[in-house]
Amino acid sequence: MSQGSDGDRAFGGLAQLIHAADYGVLLPLLARLPLAAGYAMSAWRGWLNGRAGRDWRSVALGSRHVARQSAAGYRMLNPKADEETVRAWVRARFAAESREEFEGRLMAAGRAGELRRSVGPENFLRACLARERGLLLLTPHFDSFTLGVAFLGLAGVKVNLMSSAITNDSRVTPSVRRHFFRKYRGMERFMNGGRVLDQEAGLRPFYRMLERKESVVILADAPAVSRNATVAPHFLGARRLLAGGGMRMAQRTGSDIGAFVCRYAGPGRYRLEGGPILRAEDPAAPDAVYGFLSGAILESPGRWWAADLLPAMTPVENS
């Protein structure tokens, strides 16, 4: 979680209080409303966040850097896009993140089973259920990915999620830290015995999950932070340097690797779309799974709420 470049010290005392109440009071309240009302209020909240350039990282650092860096990422994604299109994508990004936070509170309230969902294609779900090896599943910060993890569990897959302790940073508002804790514990109710564990606590538990032929979900759009474990798939128009610890785990455990996205289709309705599943040691696997994810992002750029990370994904071979 890095500081914005201009250090504009946005979000003063009153904004901090409103932010704390938003996560500590409003989001839990929305999860108790009838679904139609909850989704409508979540959309209103996302519109306000887009206007203010507010998300939990921006408030923690006192800078609207996420909005600015997202705009920069979208310009890289489509250099031909005009500024109004870029602004629309940035607004959509905040709306998607707000909805994902509302969905997290629905899981914390035990309501994921009330949502209408489809999981496909059939061969993807069948492969997830009938495991001869471990399965590493990649998904980006796209649309409703956390609900996608729960939907896999509800479909009978024992699925685990690799999370990050960054949400426990002391600069993060306490109500935001509690939000993430409750979301993850709520998710575990629907993961068919799987768990959500922070990667910073060590990778050995994830190796064991794969060795037990379970599925592990990791975020695909994390830039490389060191040269020790990297992967350079063709992703979003270029061969980019990304964190490769998950790929290394899959290869060392003889696991398969696949990908999925979970799309919001309307209030209470979702569609989980699985991509190709290949052996992790197959040289074609990284490009195949990242190509699937690229297609989803390019189809709906505003639903990719990690566009601010694109400038940090170093191109190693332009296409």
Tens of pLDDT, residues 135-162: 999 999 999 999 999 999 999 999 999 9
Instruction: Calculate the dihedral angle through the C-alpha atoms of 232, 93, 15, 167, rounding to the nearest 10 degrees.
Output: -40
CA distance 146 to 135: 17
Strands 196-198 and 159-163: parallel
Q: Strand 234-235: give its sheet, edge to edge.
A: 234-235, 238-240, 315-318
Q: Give percent of the chain with pLDDT exceeding 70.
A: 96
State the pLDDT at residue 221: 95
Task: Using pLDDT thresholds of 50, 70 and 90, give the confidence band for residue 104.
Answer: very high
Question: Which residues face 138 on adjacent strands?
Answer: 218, 259
State the pLDDT at residue 319: 45
Which two tokens mark 285?
A: 């696997």
The string of pLDDT tens digits covering residues 222-270 is 998 876 789 999 999 999 999 999 999 999 999 999 999 999 999 999 9
Q: Which long-range contacts (CB under 8 A, 24 or more apart) does 77-83 make?
A: 77/236, 77/237, 77/297, 77/298, 77/301, 77/307, 77/310, 78/301
State the pLDDT at residue 10: 77
**Extents of the domains making up the chain:** 13-318
Global pTM reads 0.93
The answer to whether residue 25 scores a pLDDT higher than 50 is yes
CB 187 within 8 A of CB 181: no
Contacts of 180 (CB under 8 A, 6+ apart): 104, 163, 167
Which two tokens mark 192?
A: 């068919």
The answer to whether residue 313 scores a pLDDT higher than 80 is yes
Which residue matches tokens 């699985």? 274
* Other CB atoms within 10 Å distance of the CB of residue 212: 12
State the pLDDT at residue 179: 97
CA distance 256 to 9: 45
State the pLDDT at residue 50: 95
Q: At what angle do helices 83-108 and 65-77 cross, to 10 degrees?
A: 120
